[in-house]
Amino acid sequence: MTLSRQTLLFDADDTLWENNIYFERAIAAFISFLDHKVHSPERVRQHLNACEHATIAAYGYGLSSFRRSLVTCFEQLAEVPLTSEVESQIHSFAEIISTSEIELLPSVAETLHQLHGRNRLILVTKGDTAEQTDKLVRSGLSGLFTAVEVLAEKNVAAYLEVIRRHSLTPAETWMIGNSPKSDINPSLAAGLNAVFIPHDHTWELEHEIVDVAPEGQQLLTLNAFADLLSVF
């Protein structure tokens, strides 16, 4: 038996379509290009993570920040100077991401079409507005959502503002996503229900232990996107 009409808030990257795998390929190409003689690839990756933390805090999410992080990492670790040619090569690793086709995850389109008929669907993602809007348009899914929220960050304050802006009833609203840090834990803290759909390649910076749902709220963990149809 499924729940009667609910409001479903959907994450986008790595919930509806593949995203992080493209960044991982770009990072692997960058580490290979850097070819550091002292630091292991794992150590370089750790340093890049630190660069990304700092860049995101200053400039937000998106490909522009990712490019900046790669360049910063190179400047801090490389044994040769950053030339315009080298910088252009580093930028090319990120450009591959922007030209990648949108690859929907299994059963996403079919499931959303069925959920759309009996629930209110809102896209709640984070990142660069232009980039996220472009991906949504290219996905072919934009007509299924009654609203789209591209947030600078997904934290408790942001979810509370989404609740206020769309006059949501928390007990009948669910945040659905793959990231404990951005989708599950802050939405639970904001009073919403949540559905955790793990992804094998969730971004390292999104890893966190999944919180226990507070009393009166619900947290579900599903193995596949299509399993949403058994709930909603």
CATH number at residue 70: 1.10.150
Quick: pLDDT tens for 20-43. Answer: 999 999 999 999 999 898 899 999
Residue 53 · residue 83 · CB < 8 Å: no
Can you tell me the distance from the alpha carbon of 195 to that of 219, in angstroms, rounded to the nearest whole number?
6
Do 107 and 221 share a domain, yes or no?
yes
Residue 19's SS3 state is coil
Do 93 and 107 share a domain, yes or no?
no
Q: For the chain, what is the domain count?
A: 2
In a domain, residue 1? The reply is no
Residue numbers of the domain that contains 85? 20-98
Do 58 and 172 share a domain, yes or no?
no
Do 114 and 161 share a domain, yes or no?
yes
Q: What's residue 47's pLDDT?
A: 96
**10-residue mean pLDDT series, the chain (232 residues):** 89 96 93 91 94 93 93 93 93 87 96 96 95 94 97 96 98 97 97 97 88 96 97 96
Q: What's residue 1's pLDDT?
A: 58
Residue 15 · residue 9 · CB < 8 Å: no
Among candidate residues 40, 75, 98, the one where a domain is terminated: 98
In a domain, residue 123? The reply is yes
Q: Tokens 């100077």, residue?
A: 81
Residues 6+ apart with CB under 8 A from 195: 174, 175, 176, 177, 219, 220, 221, 222, 228, 231
